[in-house]
Structure 1
Amino acid sequence: MQVCNVCREQTPKYKCPTCKIRYCSVGCYKKHKDSCLPVQPPEPSGPEVKPASSSAVCTDPWSVEDLLNEDDIIDKVPVEKLQLLGRSDQLRDLLRNPHLRQLLRSVDAADSKEDAMKAAMQEPLFVEFSDCCLNIVEDGTAPTHT
Structure 2
Amino acid sequence: MSPPALRLCQICTQTASKYKCPSCLAPYCSLACFKKHKETPCAKPESTEERPTVVQELPIERELNVDDPSLVLEQKQLEAIASSCEIREALKDENLQELIYNIDCSLDALNELEKYMGVEAFCMFTDKVLSNINL
TM-score range, shorter chain: 0.5 to 0.7
User: Of 112, 115, 119, which residue of structure 2 is paired with 1:116?
Assistant: 112
What's the offset of the Cα at 1:77? 2.2
> Which residue type is aligned with residue 124 of structure 1?
E
How far apart, CA to CA, are the structure 2 residues paired with 1:95 and 1:52? 27
Greater gyration radius: 1
1:61 is matched by which residue type in structure 2?
Answer: R
Inter-partner Cα distance in structure 1 for 2:121 and 2:41: 36
Is there any run of 5+ residues in structure 2 with no aligned partner, and where? 1-38, 43-57
After TM superposition, which residue ranges in structure 1, 4 or more long, deviate above 6 angstroms?
none
Give deviations 1:27-80, integer Å, cap 9, x for gaps.
Answer: xxxxxxxxxxxxxxxxxxxxxxx8648xxx9753323xx24x9xx432232101
RMSD: 2.9
Q: 1:94 to 1:59 in 2, by over 3 A?
A: closer
Which amino acid in structure 1 is aligned with residue 79 of structure 2? Q
Helix, strand or coil: the match of 1:60? Answer: coil
TM-score normalised over the length of structure 1: 0.49
What is residue 130 of structure 1 aligned with on the other side? 126
Distance 2:108 2:73 in 1: 24
| Equivalent of 1:95 in 87, 91, 97 | 91
| Residues 1:115 and 1:82: Cα distance change in structure 2 (over 3 Å) | same
Superimposed CA distance per residue, residues 87-124 of structure 1 (whole angstroms, 9 cap, x where no aligned partner)? 11110111011100000000011110111001111111
Measure, in 2, the Cα distance between the counterparts of 1:75 and 1:124.
24
The one-letter amino acid of 1:60's match is: E
CA distance in 2, matches of 1:59, 1:119: 18
Whether contact under 8 Å (2:102, 2:112) holds in the other structure is yes
**Cα distance in 2 between the residues matched to 1:128 and 1:58:** 25
User: How many percent identity over aligned positions?
Assistant: 16
Instruction: Tell me how many residue pairs correspond in the alignment.
Output: 84
SS in 2 for 1:99: helix
Distance, in Å, in 2 between the alignment partners of 1:59 and 1:51 is: 18
Could you tell me which residue of structure 2 aligns to residue 73 of structure 1? 69
Q: Normalization by structure 2: what TM-score?
A: 0.52
d(CA) in 2 for partners of 1:114, 1:102: 16
- 2:103 — aligned with what? 107
Could you tell me whether the CA contact under 8 Å between 2:59 and 2:104 is conserved in 1? no
